[in-house]
Structure 1
Amino acid sequence: MPVAYGTGTRDAGSQLRALASRLVDAEYDNRTGRYMYHHTKTWGDPVMTSSDGRHHVAFADETKVWQAADGSGKQVTTQLEPQYPDQESRNYWQRNLKPRAAASATPAPDDMPLPPMDLAPLPSRRAQLNELLKVRFGAGAVSKEVSTVYGRYVVPRQTRAEILRVLADVPGFRWRGQVTDRVGRKGVAVTFDDREHNQQSLLIFDPSTGDLLAHERLTLSPIRMKAYQVILDTAWTDRLD
């Protein structure tokens, strides 16, 4: 089910700027470490639909990533139980998926080393952030890139504030006020309705630190979950565990 928010809506610009002006430190601010650490859970990436269009399954995983400035580190991914919109879809896919993918039991985590790669530093200036967040492509692209940035970097407070100000200047974001994310955390949300592609993007931010808590994508009609990610933890660390 989508995150619940009120039906009232208004332009998000002033609220995002106000949030940016009052941010406090996150737990990781003023700390250091060799590795950027992220713990996320993702549902609905990918989604499979049967050839007749009647049966759906959304895959889910839990991921922990440790990544140094040169891109090296490790990633541990655990496949979670697939999600089904109805019992008929569950029955269909449990008959037709490979045994491991259809199983309800959680399989062993997949532990994968990350080789060095070209990992660009996170910019802090407005022009560079506009480019990184693909502002020229509009609010739909920005929503996706904000989620990518917070899932890849440990974002310092000043940059978090600047990202909120970038969002405030992008036309189309609507303020949705206080919400509760999928794991029970209180946040504030903005949405963007992409009517051309029949899709809504929803971003949930921590109301104190401005950290991104979750990113959700929905179809607009009928309202149906497409994909959802929660960022459970972000930190600096010297340990790969």
Structure 2
Amino acid sequence: MVLVPVAYGSAAREAGSQLRALASRLADAEYDNRTGRYMYHHTKTWGDPVMTSADGRHQVAFADETKVWQAADGTGEQVTSQLEPQYPDQDSRDYWQRNLKPKAAAPAASGPARVPLPPLDLAPLPSERTRLTELLKVRFGAGAVSKEVSTVYGRYVVPRRTRAEILRVLADVPGFRWRGQVTDRAGRKGVAITFDDRDHNAQSLLIFDPYTGELLAHERLTLSPVRISAYQVILGAAWTDRLN
């Protein structure tokens, strides 16, 4: 499969007002007002890691699908399945199909790997603006914030009030641009913001559910010359009492 970045229109504007408007009208997510022992997350990730050929011309992005059940004390279970690698272009695909070891080129058919999670001091997710600003590393700029927002949504089941506050924090971070409606890699409609980090030749893109404000996807890609992505979609988040 050849990896293609998320498409959006060329028109862009400062994202603050749109993010504040979204924060003001959020609806409940499916998990809101529910409880459970475990926080459950179902994600797919591409580009972790990315391998580049010795001549720098060909890249391959490895991919996996993960389901995690994690209690407040960190214990639980993680199930990971390897997916088909992806490529930035057909030339890279042809090169790596010839040169990758068979197990890397085609994921093993032995099934998913199940790993018990050990105890961990998992701090509660803050809901107050000052602590969220610290957690999201706002002082390091929009590129760092994008990564931390993705980490937060991949680790916690984020309640509506906190989702709204995260959007308001993002609205105050300089550099985010509003991209309007997009379609994520799972085929879901969302609204997107981007940040172009020219110093590191990279772009961060965050896609939010237009009704609940949940993070649907995070993409980080090089601006030039090869737009290989590191990309994660959050396919499910919930509270549950069972490991299944």
**For residues 88-135 of structure 1, what are the alpha-carbon distances to aligned partners after superposition, in whole Å with 9 as ceiling and x for unaligned?**
433433343333111256541010000011111000001100110000
CA pair 93-222 structure 1, distance change in 2 beyond 3 A = closer
- Equivalent runs, 1:53-68 vs 2, <5 Å: 53-68=56-71
Equivalent-residue separation in structure 2 for 1:103 and 1:223 (angstroms): 23
Pairing partner for 1:234 from 212, 223, 237: 237
Deviations 1:182-221 (A, max 9, x none): 1111100000000100100000000000000000011112
**Is the CA contact (8 Å cut-off) linking 1:80 and 1:106 kept in structure 2?**
no
Matching residue's letter, 2:114: D
Matched residues in 2 for 1:212 and 1:119: separation?
Answer: 21
Equivalent AA in structure 2 for residue 208 of structure 1: Y
Corresponding residue for residue 15 of structure 1: 18
1:154-165 equivalent positions in 2, closer than 5 A: 154-165=157-168
Q: CA separation in 1, counterparts of 2:107 and 2:35?
A: 39
Verify the 8 A CA contact 1:191 1:203 in the aligned structure 2.
yes
| Counterpart secondary structure, 1:224 | coil
Query: In the alignment, is residue 184 of structure 1 matched against residue 187 of structure 2?
Result: yes
Distance in 1 (CA, whole Å) between partners of 2:202 and 2:89 is 22
The partner residue of 1:129 within 127, 132, 139 is: 132
**2:186 maps to 1:220:** no
Offset at 1:234?
0.3
Which whole-Å CA distance do the structure 2 matches of 1:176 and 1:152 have between them? 26
Instruction: Check whether the contact 2:44–2:232 (CA below 8 A) recurs between aligned residues.
Output: yes
User: Where in structure 2 are there 5+ consecutive unaligned residues?
Assistant: none
Runs of 4+ in 1 over 4 A off after TM superposition: 104-107
In structure 1, give the amino acid aligned to 2:102. Answer: P
Aligned ranges for residues 185-204 of structure 1 at < 5 Å? Answer: 185-204=188-207
**Is residue 82–residue 108 contact of structure 2 (8 Å, CA) maintained in 1?**
no
Q: Does 1:42 align with 2:45?
A: yes
Distance in 2 (alpha carbons) for counterparts of 1:223 and 1:124: 38
How far 1:226 sits from its partner (Å)? 2.2
Secondary structure (helix, strand or coil) at the match of 1:31 reads coil
Q: Distance in 2 between matches of 1:106 and 1:51?
A: 29
Q: What residue in structure 2 maps to residue 151 of structure 1?
A: 154
Q: Name the amino acid aligned to 2:230.
A: A
| SS of the residue 1:70 aligns to | coil
The normalised TM-score by structure 1 is 0.96
1:113–1:144 Cα change, 3 Å: same
CA contact (8 A) 1:78 1:107 kept: no
Tell me, yes or no, if structure 1 residue 74 matches structure 2 residue 77. Answer: yes
The 1-side partners of 2:193 and 2:155 are apart by: 21
Size of the aligned set, in residue pairs, is 241
Which AA in structure 2 matches 1:112?
Answer: V
CA contact (8 A) 2:24 2:164 kept: yes
